[in-house]
Amino acid sequence: MEKITEALSDMLPLQIIHIIIVCILLTVGIYNIVTEFLILPDDKARKAILNYGKGSNTLSSEEMVTLMSAQIERFISLDDNYKKILQKKIKAAEITYSAESYVSRAISSGIIIALFGIPFALIFSSFINWTIILAFFLILGIFSYYKVLGEADEIIRKKTEQIEPELALFASTIQKQLSSTTDLIKIFESYRKVCGETFRHEIDVTIADMKTGSYEPALLNLDNRVRSEALSQIIRGLISVLKGDDQQMYFDMLVHDLSNSERERLSRIALKRPSKLNSSSAMILVCFVIILVYIIGYQIVIELTSLL
C-alpha cells in the first residue's frame, strides 16, 4: 500500500487523470462485452432488488430533486408571457408539472450536480486544483439545468419527427373523405386504423376532445401538441370545413405539396445510404487486399527460403 502511495505521489496530475480515464473506459468496455454474452436484469429489476427491504430511509436522486424543487418553487416568479409559452410547451409534451415546478426541477437538478463537486474537490484536491474540480461540476450543473429545462422541447421534437412522415397520407385521407362526408370524427376514426402509434394517440385525444367539447378547440389543441407546419396547414383546412367552406381544391393542392415534400425527404435519406455502403465496401476491399498481400508475401518467403 505504501509503494502504491509513493508511486501515485511521484506521478503528475495529468498522468493520474489518464489512468483514471483508461480504467473507466476499460471497465465500460468489459461490461459491454460481458453483457453481450450474459443475460442480466434490466434497470427496473436492479433497482427493485437494490431497494428491497431498505424501507423509506434512503432517497433516490429523483426524490432529492423533488424535495429540493418543492422548496425552490416557492421563490420562483415567472414572467407572465414566458409562463404562458412554457405552460403550452409543457402541456404539448404531456408533462404534468406546472411551469414553476418545471423550472424549479431544472434548477434543483443543476444544483445537485454542482454540489457533487464538493466531495470530489476534497478527495482529489491533492492531485488537481480544487477550483478546477468545482468549475467542472458547476459547468455540468449548468448543462443539466438546460437539459432538464429543454425536456419538453425534446419530447415535442421527437413526436413531430414521428408524425410528420404520415401527414401526406393523412391529408390524402381527408381529401378522399371530404367528397362523401364532412364529419371530422368519422374521418379521424377512419385514419387512426392505419396510422402509427404516436399519431394514433394524438388522434384519440383529439376525438375525445371533439366528443366532449367543441371541434375547433380540439383541432387547435392538436396543432399545439405536435407543432408541425404541415399539420398546421391541415388544421387550417379542417377549420374552414367546419365553417362550411368548400376545401376540396385546398386539400388537392395540399396533398400534392406534402407528397412532394415526403418524396424529397425520402430522397435525402436514400442519398445518405450510398456513402455508408461505400465506406463498407472500402473496408471490405482493404481487408481483401491485406489477405491477398499476406498470401503472396507468404509464398514469396517460402520460395526464397527453399532457394537459400
User: What pLDDT sits at residue 26?
Assistant: 55
**Per-residue DSSP letter, 202:** H
Return the pLDDT at 49.
39
Which amino acid appears at position 14 of this protein?
Answer: L
Return d(Cα 48, Cα 295) in angstroms, integer: 56
pLDDT less than 70: residues of the chain: 1-61, 125-127, 272-282, 298, 307-308
- In this prediction, residue 209 carries a pLDDT of 92
User: CB 21: neighbour CB atoms within 10 A?
Assistant: 10
pLDDT number for residue 253 = 92
Q: What's the pLDDT score for residue 15?
A: 57
* pLDDT tens per residue across span 231-271: 999 999 999 998 888 888 999 999 998 888 888 887 877 77
The overall pTM is greater than 0.75? no
What local confidence, expressed as pLDDT, does residue 224 receive?
87
Burial class of 113 by CB neighbour count within 10 A (0 to 12, 13 to 18, 19+): buried
Pure H helices in the chain: 2-10, 13-37, 43-51, 61-72, 80-92, 99-115, 117-124, 130-149, 151-163, 167-177, 184-191, 197-212, 215-226, 229-242, 248-307
Contact 127/16 with Cβ under 8 angstroms? yes
Region label for 227, one of left (φ > 0), alpha (ψ between -120 and 50) or beta (otherwise):
left
> Domain spans of the chain?
2-35+60-154, 161-260
